[in-house]
Amino acid sequence: MSSTVSKSIWSNFSKRSQSLSLKNKALKTALLSPDLPFGPASLKKRSSKAQYNSPIGLSEIYPLAYQILEQESVDCYKRIEKIESKISTTQDQTLKEELNDLKQQLLVDAEINNPEVIYNANYATNSLDRTQPVYRHYLKEQWKSYSRMLTMQRLESLSVIPDTLPTLDPQVDVQLKFPHNNVERWIEPGTLLSSNATCKPPLLEIVEFKESKNDLYTVLMVDPDTPDLTNDSFSTTLHWGLKDVQLSNEDPIIDAKKLVENPDYEFIEYLPPVPEKNTGKHRLAIWVFRQNEKLSNVTETSREFFDIRKFTEDHNLVPIGAHVFRSIWDRNTENVRETYGLPKGRIFTRERL
């Protein structure tokens, strides 16, 4: 690494996390060397590297810009120290929360222009340390630029909103996949899945963009397309119900292992989608709620004719995220029904008048 690049706060990890640095030494050297002595890392051929010439003036401008940005970071950390001192002495809980919010924002400001952080945020998104506010900031911006809009578009175009709940102001990124069949891919909202793919519970990841330490969550998976012949309409079936699920920035996953270790999380066991023949595509909506306290009086919740709006009102739950996939009858559906001890599905036909 060139000695002309400042070695101040961004090189000091006594109080900063090592995750704010690049692990790959070669990349780090290339990123922080103003004159790129070996050429850009994108150049693979030795001849190309030998012919490379750094842009005129870069070796003078880069260290100066780095030094200015690093000094801004130093100033932010000085303000953070003063705020931490105030937090430790104040007894006012409201003031503590305000000061902590300010501290979180300053932690973002202190690292947002760090070249190593920027590189990690753009090229190592799957391994980011989500306990660091600056990485959560970058993840949130990426989510808002695409995934958030896609999810809302699917929820509204498929009429999950308002057929289940009236509205949603997304605060978290809800991702799901079904790893039991070795398909290690995240499901895009609105995807039509086979009965084999959904025969076992999904793995859920709830990505918080705020500081999260052991927050509690409720998850409801509902199908609003269950035929109701008595009323010549449709009813909602609760396919899965989780409560008091403890998650954090470090541990955002709900999987089979966690449910086995915490059997109290599941108040309604997972029932896979098993649409009856000729009932069309069923929407399976996964709603996520952040709890203020532990839920009570949910053991008597009925799976059939589930009223999700009443449930959320009774338990003071406000949705913070959602996902949706679809299911339709296929040749494997009856096998899934048999596995779960369900009666044979009906076959619906049109009546000719």
pLDDT tens digits for the chain (353 residues)? 444 566 789 999 998 999 999 998 888 887 887 766 666 767 778 888 778 777 787 778 888 999 999 999 999 999 999 999 999 999 999 999 999 999 999 999 999 999 999 999 999 988 999 999 999 999 999 999 999 999 999 999 999 999 999 999 999 999 999 998 777 799 999 999 999 999 999 999 999 999 999 899 999 999 999 999 999 899 999 999 999 999 999 999 999 999 999 999 999 999 999 999 999 999 999 999 999 999 988 878 999 999 999 999 999 999 999 999 999 999 999 999 999 999 999 999 877 66
Q: Dihedrals φ, ψ of 342, to 5°?
A: -95, 150
Find the farthest-apart pair of alpha carbons in the chain and give their distance in angstroms, rounded: 87
| Sequence spans of domains, the chain | 9-144, 159-339
Query: Looking at residue 1, what is its pLDDT?
Result: 42
Query: Looking at residue 36, what is its pLDDT?
Result: 67
Could you report how far apart the first and last alpha carbons of the chain are, in Å?
82
Out of 1.20.1260.10, 3.30.1360.120, 1.10.10.10, 1.20.58.1180, which CATH number does the structure's domain 9-144 have? 1.20.58.1180
Equal CATH topology for 9-144 and 159-339: no
Cis peptide before 224 (omega within 30 of 0): no
Query: Looking at residue 8, what is its pLDDT?
Result: 84
Architecture field, domain 159-339: Alpha-Beta Complex (3.90)
Q: Partners of 266 in the beta sheet?
A: 242
Tokens of residue 210, six digits: 């705020």
Which residues are CB-neighbours of 185 under 8 A, at least 6 positions away?
A: 177
CA distances 25 to 116, 123, 228, 240, 252, Å, are 11, 15, 63, 46, 30
